[in-house]
Amino acid sequence: MGTFIALLDYTDQGIRNIKNSPHRADQFNAMAEKAGARVVAQYWTIGSHDGVLIIEAPDDETAATILLSLGASGNVRTTTLRAYEWADAQGLIEKQ
């Protein structure tokens, strides 16, 4: 399973519908599980982004699909980062 970090930014629509945000988060968690992924953590943040998701997915395509669906809802824009645990990163670095 790969790890992905998604930075979330509310759209104008998302701000207008802020009270539904917890319900939408639950729906996203269920959709991710159905796709074979898992939401490891969800954080609402103060600062340059409105939230952070940490997701484990079996492959890049699954992560992209669920995060595209999240963005297509119109409530958030996402910036996705592929994350590597240190041991995996070391292996990649050693190949250089």
**Cα→Cα distances 17→4, 5, 12, 24, Å:** 26, 23, 9, 10
> What pLDDT sits at residue 91?
82
pLDDT at res. 96: 80
Question: Domain range for residue 31?
Answer: 2-94
Chain segment 22-80, per-residue pLDDT in tens: 999 999 999 999 999 999 999 999 999 999 999 999 999 999 999 999 999 999 999 99
Going by C-beta distance under 8 Å and a sequence separation of 6 or more, which residues neighbour residue 81? 4, 5, 6, 7
Instruction: Kindly state the tokens that stand for 88.
Output: 């995996």
In b/e form, how buried is each residue of 37-47, taking b as 16+ CB within 10 angstroms? bebeebeeeee
Cα–Cα distance, 41 to 33 (Å, whole number): 13
**Ramachandran sector of residue 5 (left: φ over 0; alpha: ψ -120 to 50; beta: rest):** beta
- As a whole number of Å, the end-to-end CA separation of the chain is 23
Give the count of domains, the chain. Answer: 1
What is the domain-level CATH number for residue 65?
Answer: 3.30.70.920
